Each structure stands twice: as C-alpha cells, then as structure tokens.
Amino acid sequence: MLNNLTDTEEGDGGAQSQGDGNPKESSPFINSSEAASEKSQQYDGKNMALFEEEMDTRPMVSSLLSSLANYSNLPQGCKEHEEAENNEAESVRKKPVKAPQLGTLMGVYFPCIQNIFGVILFLRMTWLVGIGGVIGTFIIVFMCCATTMLTAISMSAIATNGVVPAGGSYYMISRSLGPEFGGAVGICFYLGTTYAGAMYILGAIELLLIYIAPKAAIFPLEGLEGAEAEAALLNNMRVYGTILLTSMATVVFVGVKYVNKLALVFLACVILSILAVYAGVIKTGIEPPIFPVCVLGNRTLVWKNFDVCAKTIETANGTVTTQLWRMFCDSSFLNATCDKYFMANNVTQIQGIPGITSGVLADNLFGSYYEKGDLIAKPTLESVEDHDDPMNNANRYVLADITSFFTLLVGIYFPSVTGIMAGSNRSGDLRDAQKSIPIGTIAAITTTSTVCILM
C-alpha cells in the first residue's frame, strides 16, 4: 500500500511539473496525466460560439472546463472580452453619482402652487360668487382648503416618521398603511389626474373660443341659440380637445424634463394673471369700465338683436320706436299691441362691472340659487309683476342654464385645491425630503388658500 501511495505521489508530482510548463487553458483537468493531456488537446482552439459574430464574446471550451475543474464560479472569456468588461466596470465605479439638489422652494413650494392654481380659479370663481354669494363662497373655499390642509398635515406626519426615498406619496402610504391602501390611492390618483387633464383642456378651449379668438371656431357659434349653440360648442371642444391632447401626449412621449425646464415660466404667467386680477379690482374701483347691461324691470335682457337700450328715442321727426320695441310688440307703431310686462316696466341701463366701491359686495353677500330656465333678475330694481300673465318672450331674457345648489358649487370648486402632492411626488429629487415636504406643502396650501379667499 505504501508503494502504491508512493507511486501516486510521484505521478502527481510529474503531472504537476508537466502542468507548470503548459498554459492553463491546455490543462483543463485536475488529473493532468499524459493520457488526459492527450485527450484535452482535442479541445484546444475550440470556441463555444454558435455564430461567427460571437467569437470574441464566448469563452473557449478549455477555459470553461478548466474553470469547472478549479471550482471557479465564472468562466473566463477571451482576453479582449475580459479587458472590455474590466474597463466598463471601472468606468461605472468611477462615474460620479449626482446627488439630488432640489430644495424646499424649487422642489415642493413652486410645483404645488403651479398645480393648485388652475382653470377653475379664473373661469368659475366669479360664477361661484355670483350664485353662492360672498358668505357662501367663503364657506366653500374654507371647507376645501381646510380639507387639503388636514391631508397635508397627515402626509407630513408620515414623511417625518422615516426616510422618504423615491416614490413619493405612494411609498409613504404603502409603507404606513400597507400595499392595499397604497394601490387604491394610486388608482384614485391616476383617475383624478386623468379627469383633471380633461378639465384643463376643456377650460383652455373655452377661453380660446369664447374670449380670445371666437372666429377660430370650426363650427360657427354666431346666430345659434339653445341646443344648437351648445352642440356647436361641444363639437368645437371635441376637435380642439383632440388636437390639444395629442400635442400633450407628444410632449410627454418626448420627455417631461423639457416641460419641467419651463415650469417656472408657466408659473410666472399664472402669478402675473392673478396680479392682473387684483390690479383690475383696484382699477375698476377708481374708474369702472364701460360695460352696459340692459334691464327690463329687474329682468336682464340678452343684448343681441337690438342696439339701443330704450323703448323709444327722440329724433327730429318726433318719437321713434327702437329695435327693442319691435322685439316685444307686433309692429313698430306706438299704438301696437305689446307684451304686458314690457309696457308695465321701464327699461334701464346699468353698469355690468360697477367696481368694488359701488356697494356690489354688500348686495351680493347671500346666494341666489336658480333652477334651470329661471330668469336672472336683479332684486334691487323695481319690477311690476303680473302672475296671471304668461311669459311669452323668455328667449329675450338671460336664463339660468343649470340648476345650482350648495353641494354642486362645492363639487365644482374642490378640484381647484387639489395638486398638493406635486411636491411629495418629487421626493427622489429632494435634498432633504423629510424637511422639504412638510414645509413646502403646508406653505403652498396657505399661500393659495389666502389668494383664493381674497379673490
């Protein structure tokens, strides 16, 4: 037995001495005897590549067998491939990681303000005050702002309870309440953002076609009334809405980073618009603009088919009836048969924008809710009513186009105070998310709430 061990040791030593003189790839087996070495020569120069293009990236067969014999976990490839991998790894290690640089002001405060100030503030706030009154609208604004403030306080409590990495509100909610609540909130937030995008698109089209460029309407609105005018407006919104939505989708597809670079420009435009509203309040208080409204009794008339707000005018030839007279009478003569309400009440011309010093604020403290089709009347003006006389000329008056009530006004205004998560959603880009999210969000809600209440 000792002789056998001696022979084995001598054979191992010979194999080792032979392996020292040969390259590693030519000796892929542990037992490097002469027979094994002769057997391994058939693998020299053999590559594992299936295609010619993979010759430089696939390891040699002998290298693979040698790695298996030496218990190494990764097969060695060819020299060029190894050098390329090493250079790539070194470049990745040496590549500096850019740390987040956004602070409270640029990362949370301004994005929240930009998302909270929306189209409702400019298009529907004046209508809310006109319907709900100053006190009622103040209650609505206070309720909505208090709701968002409580939400921001709860979010701040979660944000300051631990580290807030990238993921924003989803991360905080899922880690605090569980993934079920996080997923539910994520779905609701996605749907809310989708409907908000549709709302902003329709608001932009309304501003364009009604106030800025009415002639740009593809389906003309002039000369249409009632259902026809509403259908034409909806068709215009469908066409322009599709165009605007396609352009927005293109911008998102190209990259949102270009939009973020212009975020401050857009925010500056919004702030200038709000300052213009306050400047207009001061200007109209000092010198009200000429914006006449024609009223018959206390009923507001649609100033469309007549030029003079009067029943008759005095000329060199005497008293002459006007176009307004012919709207309510069967002829242009003074002895014509006219509407009873028209004959019993006077026609007056009032200032449509009287200014804040005219007492309009006190007159509109309380709300005036209407049913659809009700007359829009001014209670402070005298009116002689005959309840037995049916109203035959309703299309001549300004009528309520929607039934209004308190909860409807709350639902219309509430989307104006959303957007408070714009800062928390950028938690991955914030320098100190635990500090910036509470301060920036609460400061943005306080600022926007103050502006809305003042407006």
Give residue 244's pLDDT. Answer: 92
**Same domain, residue pair 304 and 283:** no
**Same domain, residue pair 29 and 122:** no
User: What total of structural domains would you count in the chain?
Assistant: 3
Cβ pair 137, 128 in contact under 8 A: yes
Tell me how far CA of residue 217 lies from CA of 232, 236, 240, in angstroms: 9, 6, 9
Nearest to 421 by CA among 437, 433, 434: 437
* Containing structural domain, residue 21: 17-94
pTM of the model: 0.69
pLDDT of 269 over the 60 cut: yes
Tell me whether residue 365 is in a domain: no
Cβ pair 159, 439 in contact under 8 A: no
Residue 90 corresponds to which amino acid? E
- Rounded (10°) angle between helices 168-177 and 125-159: 60
Encode pLDDT of 125-162 as tens digits. Answer: 888 998 988 999 999 999 999 998 998 888 888 777 76
**Same domain, residue pair 264 and 181:** yes
Higher pLDDT, residue 34 or 191: 191
**Same domain, residue pair 320 and 224:** no
pLDDT of 76 over the 80 cut: no
**Same domain, residue pair 270 and 143:** yes
Distance of CA 229 to the CA centre of its chain: 29
Higher pLDDT, residue 409 or 356: 409
**Same domain, residue pair 259 and 391:** no
Tell me whether residue 7 is in a domain: no
Encode pLDDT of 91-104 as tens digits. Answer: 555 555 555 576 77
Which is it for strands 292-296 and 347-351: parallel, antiparallel or unpaired? antiparallel
**3-class DSSP state for residue 84?**
helix
Give residue 406's pLDDT. Answer: 92
